[in-house]
Amino acid sequence: MPHSTDPYEDDLDDLPSPRPVHYAEQSLLGALLLDPHRLPDVRGLEAEQFSNHAHGALFQAMRTVPLPDPEAHRSDPAWLNSVLDAARPQAPGLTASYLHTLVQVCPWPQHAPTYARMIQSDHARRTLLMHAQRLAQTAVDATLPHRAAATLAQADGLAQFLDTLAGRFAPHPGSLPRNVLPEQPTARSSEEALDEERLLLATATAHPAALKDMRWLQPDDFTQSLHATLWQCLTSLVHRAEPVDPVTVLWEAQHRGLLAAGDLAAGDLMALVSTPVGSAEHWGERILQRALLTSACDVATRIAAYAEDPANTTHQLITGSRRALADLTALRTRWQRSTAPTPPATPRAPRSPAVSRAGPPPRATTARALR
């Protein structure tokens, strides 16, 4: 039977339990409320690194209000009241009873630096997840005028954040992420992508000389295996300096087994490479850009999965994310080569005529030689 709806019944029991960082924040704040002079021991922690806004406001208030006298603080709650008054403008829900609760839940005030480290680690995880989400959103945002450049800029920002984290968290054994991600690449095939690949193959067949300057395009950049193999046929013919036309491409494709399965007729293959449009460089850049953006989405998905797994330590997140970003390096290099302007050919200066080298002086003819 369906659950009856009672307007006076609440669902507080269905709320998820707090995450471990919540208790770390409570323990740190309780330790500092109990002994404010431990604040200098908490280094590098900022209010915005707390997952709970009220906790961050309370921590900031502790750093703002002057420290009390240690002896007076043991019997006088004046400093606690001052901290509460300073934090309430940012967190109106704070109460004096909650401050006393924080003091009671702190197990060991001496462990305050360790609690702060936990808070920093969780903040690093959340920030890494945010960077990964931004990378994925940028890669799929079709409204951006220069989407590839914007995506690479987001990847650079993520890499810089990882460098910053590496300086804050020491490495340790077992630095690889613990979870094994299933390979679920982003869907790349679309009708637009297939059309661009067909146009490239046909245009490259009509103008094979352009392929000599398109080594930045690889078969893995294509979304369909048939098109990738046909691209290999074209590049092989050009490499061997053989004639390139629909018939020679068909013959090369036959040797590579494209016609063996019977799914593709010879006439259909010739028609595929017989309708050139535009320039091969243009279609090649479009295909490479699509491969770059797809790879960025896959990298962002991997990093987000690492960050969402609480079993991974901060150093494991750094190592796994750096390895994921390394997959973009080769594509970035080839993309930059494809979009770099061709340097103008500078005429070579004519060589000056060679100057004859001075030979050894003629040997003196002696009188004995004349005899």
Tell me the CATH number at 166.
1.10.860.10
What was the pLDDT predicted at 249?
95
The count of domains in the chain is: 2
Query: Residues 158, 67: one domain?
Result: no
Half-sphere exposure of 302 (CA within 13 A, CB side): 28
Q: What is the dihedral of CA 107, 13, 130, 315, to 10 degrees?
A: 40
**Are 164 and 288 found together in one domain?**
yes
Residue 360 falls within a domain, yes or no? no
Q: Are residues 270 and 316 in the same domain?
A: yes
Whether 87 and 144 share a structural domain = no
pLDDT of residue 303: 95
| Terminal-residue alpha carbon distance, the chain | 139
Same domain, 249 and 190: yes
The CA distance from 267 to 56, in Å, is 70
Task: For residue 288, give the nearest of 198, 224, 192, 218 by alpha carbon.
Answer: 218
- pLDDT in the model for residue 173: 67
Is residue 113 assigned to a domain?
no
pLDDT of residue 320: 92
pLDDT tens, per residue, the chain with 371 residues: 444 555 444 444 555 788 999 999 999 999 999 999 999 989 889 999 999 999 999 999 999 999 998 888 888 889 999 999 999 999 999 999 999 999 999 999 999 999 999 999 999 999 999 999 999 999 999 999 999 999 999 999 999 999 999 888 877 766 777 665 555 555 567 899 999 999 999 999 999 999 999 999 999 999 999 999 999 999 999 999 999 999 999 999 999 988 887 778 999 999 999 999 999 999 999 999 999 999 999 999 999 999 999 989 999 999 999 999 998 988 999 999 888 775 555 555 556 555 555 555 555 554 444 44
pLDDT value at position 259?
85
d(CA 159, CA 262): 47
Q: Which helix (H) or strand (E) holds 255?
A: helix 246-255
Helix, strand, coil distribution of the chain in percent, nearest 5: 65, 0, 35
**Is there a single domain that holds both residue 97 and residue 162?**
no
User: If you ran DSSP here, which 8-state letter would residue 95 be given?
Assistant: -
Task: Please report the pLDDT score of residue 367 as a whole number.
Answer: 45
Tell me, yes or no, whether 102 lies in a domain.
yes
Q: 51, 79, 107: which is the final residue of a domain?
A: 107
Range of the domain at 175: 124-339
